[in-house]
Amino acid sequence: MDRHAEKMRRVVEAVLDGPGELSPAVRQAIAGERFDEAPPALRPYLEKVTHHAYRVTDEDVEALKQAGLSEDQIFEATVAAAVGAGRKRLRAGLAALGE
């Protein structure tokens, strides 16, 4: 058994199912790259976080605030997208190793 599996499970559970400004259903959808279930203003940002995180700027976050999203909502969406992208890459890496 992977020695980190339980820790990873707890992190994912906290991020996707724990209390927050965004509903667990929305956070789970974001992690699954079902961005159409997220608030419309977030969708381009989520694409950027998922596929080109290094390109996210302060201006991107400020635009989301101007669109009416709270800092907590932006943070939760960012972390959900990052967790989803990380899990996807982990699965691809393990598959490449035959695990």
Which residue ranges of the chain lie beneath pLDDT 70?
Answer: 1
Per-residue pLDDT, 94 = 82
Q: Which long-range contacts (CB under 8 A, 24 or more apart) does 65-71 make?
A: 67/41, 68/41, 69/39, 69/41, 69/42, 70/21
Per-residue pLDDT reduced to its tens digit, 5-32: 899 899 999 999 999 999 999 999 999 9
Per-residue pLDDT, 2 = 76
Q: Which long-range contacts (CB under 8 A, 24 or more apart) does 87-92 make?
A: 87/12, 87/31, 88/33
